[in-house]
Amino acid sequence: MAAIAVIDYDMGNLHSACKGLENAGATPTITDSHKDIQNADAVVLPGVGSFDPAMQHLRSRDLVQPIQDAIASGKPFLGICLGLQILFDGSEEGTEPGLGIIPGLVRRFHPEPGLTIPQIGWNQLNFEQPHLPVWQQLGESPYVYFVHSYYVDPVDPKVTAATVTHGSQTVTAAIARDNLVAVQFHPEKSSTAGLQLLANFVSQVRMQVTV
């Protein structure tokens, strides 16, 4: 079984993500324990809500260093929604510094006629790193579920793993670098494609554990 630490910092319902991981054969543990994060085979950082409260909660629980250490250790790491955004240097949504793991900023969608902000609902992914293990068996340009007003803008475009187009704006919807993958959409709400992504992540964890 793959032991996965799901980081709890009071930002969102973690149980739906855990259920998807359990269905894929993992053993997820919702935790804010440094020891649990260190000992886990992989780490998932979910989240919904606003950037500044998220960073404040992480700092109040002394979770910044354990997250940075987990990513630096090489173990598989998956960020979801707000858990993607806080990996960056900062956000136009607030003033708090982010984790600074991925250089770049979180930006708000530019208003334009007919554009709904936030983007809520199903939209198609366009893969920029099509051979990424988590994308396997998702099909070409799968529909996934988004709820967001802000998107990540990495300094290095090579970390962009997928994009999404909302109105006339095409923005980063997922990033990948080494052992780190993070997505703006909600896999746990994205039906077959989302559950397949979680299953792919668990398979990746299992492969690393058995090596």
Domain map (residue ranges) of the chain: 2-210
- The active-site residue out of 57, 148, 166, 186 is 186
Q: Is 18 a catalytic residue?
A: no
DSSP 159: G
Tell me, what's the pLDDT at 121?
Answer: 97
- CATH 3.40.50.150 applies to domain 2-210: no
| Averaged pLDDT, groups of 10, the chain, 211 residues long | 90 84 90 96 95 96 97 97 97 97 98 95 97 95 97 98 97 98 96 94 88 61
Cα distance between residue 49 and residue 83, in whole Å: 10
Backbone dihedral angles phi then psi of residue 64, each to the nearest 5 degrees: -65, -50
Nearest to residue 193, comparing CAs of 117, 109, 148, 127?
Answer: 127
Q: Is pTM, for the whole model, over 0.85?
A: yes
Residue 168: HSE in the Cβ half-sphere, 13 Å Cα cutoff: 5
Q: Is 140 a catalytic residue?
A: no
Tell me, what's the pLDDT at 211?
Answer: 61
- Contact 133/204 with Cβ under 8 angstroms? yes
Q: Is 188 a catalytic residue?
A: yes
Tell me, what's the pLDDT at 14?
Answer: 85
**H helix runs in the chain, sequence order:** 15-23, 34-39, 51-60, 64-73, 82-85, 191-210
- The active-site residue out of 57, 81, 148, 166 is 81
